[in-house]
Structure 1
Amino acid sequence: MSERESMDYDVVVVGAGPAGLATAIRIKQLAQENQQDISVCVLEKGSEVGAHILSGAVMDPRALTELIPDWKEKGAPLHTSVTEDTFLFLTENKAYKTPHSLLPDCFKNEGNYVVRLGHVVRWLGEQAEHLGVEIFPGFAATEIIYDENGAVKGIATGDMGVNRDGSYSAHYQQGMELHAKYTIFAEGSRGQLGRELIEKYHLDEGKDLQSYGIGIKEMWEIDPAQSKPGLVIHSAGWPLKSDTYGGAFLYHLEGNLVVVGMIVGLDYANPWLSPFEEFQRYKTHPSIKPYFEGGKRIAYGARAITAGGLLSLPKTVFPGGILVGCDAGFLNASRIKGSHAAIKSGQLAAEAIVEALKQNRSRDELLSFVETFQSSWLYEELNKARNFKQWFKKGLVVGTVMTGIEQKVFKGKMPWTIHRQKPDYACLQPAAQMPKIDYPKPDGVLTFDRLSSVFLSNTNHEENQPVHLTLKDPMIPVKVNLAVYAGPEQRYCPAGVYEFIKDEHGEDKLQINAQNCVHCKTCDIKDPSQNIIWIAPQGGEGPVYNGM
Structure 2
Amino acid sequence: MEVDVVIVGAGPAGLSAAIRLKQLDEELMVVVLEKGSEVGAHILSGAVLDPSGLARLFPDWKDKGAPLNVPVKEDNFYVLGEAGQIRLPNAIMPPLMNNHGNYIVSMGNVCRWMAEQAEALGVEIYPGMACSELIYGDDGEVKGVVAGEFGKNADGTPGDGYEPGMELLGKYVFLSEGVRGSLSKEVIAKYGLDEDCDVPKFGIGMKEIWEVDPDKHNEGEVTHTMGWPLGFKNSGGSFVYHLDNNQVYVGYIVDLNYKNPHLYPYMEFQRFKHHPKIAKLLEGGKRVAYGARAVTKGGYQSIPQVAFPGGALLGCSAGLVNLPRIKGNHNAMHSGIEAAEAAHAAIQDGRGGDLLEAYDASLKSGPVGKDLHRVRNVAPLNAKFGPLGGLALGGFDMWFQTIFGGFSLFGTVKHGKNDAQSTQDASKHKPIDYPKPDGKLSFDRLTNVSFSFTNHEESQPAHLRLTDAETPIKVNLPKFAEPAQRYCPAGVYEVVDNEFVINFQNCVHCKTCDIKDPSQNITWTVPQGGDGPNYPNM
Task: State TM-score, norm by structure 1.
Answer: 0.96
Residue 22 of structure 1: aligned partner: 16
* 1:5-45 deviation per Cα after TM superposition (whole angstroms, max 9, x unaligned): xx00000000000000000000000114xxxx210000000
**Percent pairwise identity:** 52
Shift of the alpha carbon at 1:158? 4.9
The whole-number CA distance in structure 2 between the counterparts of 1:254 and 1:28 is 33
How many residues are aligned here? 533
Classify the secondary structure of the residue corresponding to 2:485.
Answer: helix
AA aligned to 1:519 is: H
Segments of 5+ residues of structure 2 without an aligned counterpart are: none
Is 1:79 the counterpart of 2:69 in the alignment? yes
Is 1:406 the counterpart of 2:406 in the alignment? no
Classify the secondary structure of the residue corresponding to 1:188.
Answer: coil
Residue 535 of structure 2: aligned partner: 545
Shift of the alpha carbon at 1:396? 1.4
* 1:499-531 deviation per Cα after TM superposition (whole angstroms, max 9, x unaligned): 1001xxxxx011111100000000010000011
Aligned positions of 1:187-336 closer than 5 A? 187-336=177-326
Classify the secondary structure of the residue corresponding to 2:394.
Answer: helix
Preserved contact between residue 143 and residue 158 of structure 1 (Cα < 8 Å): no
Root mean square deviation of aligned Cα: 0.9
* 1:289-344 deviation per Cα after TM superposition (whole angstroms, max 9, x unaligned): 11101100000000001110110000000110010100011111121000000000
AA aligned to 1:139 is: M
The whole-number CA distance in structure 1 between the counterparts of 2:507 and 2:284 is 30
Preserved contact between residue 334 and residue 367 of structure 2 (Cα < 8 Å): no
Preserved contact between residue 216 and residue 301 of structure 1 (Cα < 8 Å): yes
Classify the secondary structure of the residue corresponding to 1:287.
Answer: helix
Is 1:445 the counterpart of 2:440 in the alignment? yes
Classify the secondary structure of the residue corresponding to 1:426.
Answer: coil
AA aligned to 2:392 is: V
- Which of 166, 170, 173 lines up with 1:180 in the alignment? 170
Residue 475 of structure 2: aligned partner: 480
- Which of 129, 137, 140 lines up with 2:119 in the alignment? 129
AA aligned to 1:400 is: L
The whole-number CA distance in structure 1 between the counterparts of 2:345 and 2:352 is 11
- Which of 51, 61, 78 lines up with 2:41 in the alignment? 51
- Which of 361, 383, 398 lines up with 1:371 in the alignment? 361
The whole-number CA distance in structure 1 between the counterparts of 2:528 and 2:186 is 19
Segments of 5+ residues of structure 1 without an aligned counterpart are: 1-6, 503-507
* 1:242-293 deviation per Cα after TM superposition (whole angstroms, max 9, x unaligned): 1212110000000000000011111110001011000001111111111101
Preserved contact between residue 437 and residue 444 of structure 2 (Cα < 8 Å): yes
Classify the secondary structure of the residue corresponding to 1:243.
Answer: coil
Classify the secondary structure of the residue corresponding to 2:495.
Answer: strand
Residue 328 of structure 2: aligned partner: 338
Is 1:466 the counterpart of 2:457 in the alignment? no
* 1:345-401 deviation per Cα after TM superposition (whole angstroms, max 9, x unaligned): 000000001101111100110111122223312211110011110011120121111
Mean CA deviation greater in 365-374 or 59-68: 365-374
The whole-number CA distance in structure 1 between the counterparts of 2:496 and 2:228 is 32
Classify the secondary structure of the residue corresponding to 2:292.
Answer: strand
AA aligned to 1:313 is: I
Preserved contact between residue 235 and residue 386 of structure 2 (Cα < 8 Å): yes
AA aligned to 1:198 is: I
Classify the secondary structure of the residue corresponding to 1:87.
Answer: strand
The whole-number CA distance in structure 1 between the counterparts of 2:470 and 2:66 is 50
Task: State TM-score, norm by structure 2.
Answer: 0.98
AA aligned to 1:17 is: G
